[in-house]
Amino acid sequence: MFPEINKLTLREKPFKYFYGTSNVKVNMLLKSVSWFKSHAPWKLIETDFYEQYEFSLFDVDLPDEVKYLISETTLNDLTNNVEAVFNIKLKKKVDAIAHKLVRGQTIRIHNDYLEGEESESHRVLLQLSDNWREDDGGYLMFFSSPETNNISDIVEPIGGSIQGFEISPTSFHAVSTVHKEERYTVVYSFYQK
């Protein structure tokens, strides 16, 4: 479980986002990654701006060593953290999708914004990749516009690190091309009241 976000850095521009570390223990991280590598039911998803493997953590009978990722305690703690960081109130609904990017895959600039009452308002990413190195790629990038030359920040996808951001028409972000090791992330989606 990761009840707190440590070493939190909060940015207000070009939109609100944060990054820091979670309280996920190394042994839990390694057990999760082992299951994701060997038994997870990955499904390839292709859209106009990305190609990746994914599945919902709520649609799978998870082994005990992975259940902490969607335990009631974890989801409540994450919700409380997001509410505190962004000074908002969230609905009880939380989605959790596992993502896997393999060599050559990338996620191009997008904002995740959809209009409507049931659209997600905030997103939190828990990086699970083990032994990540700089030349592996898969960096999370934030932009001040949909143009590639307007990078505002670059965040390393180190295992156990955590990032979060508000979703809006200007929440432009991307993931750089993965060059070597597979990149594993759990994406939590939140819905503002």
Q: Which one-letter DSSP state was computed for residue 161?
A: E
Q: Per-residue pLDDT tens for 58-89? A: 999 999 999 999 999 999 999 999 999 999 99
Q: Per-residue pLDDT tens for 88-125? A: 999 999 999 999 999 999 999 999 998 877 889 999 99
* Other beta carbons less than 10 A from residue 114's beta carbon: 9
> Do 45 and 37 meet the contact criterion of CB atoms below 8 Å apart?
no
Structural domain spans, the chain: 6-180
6-180: CATH architecture: Sandwich (2.60)
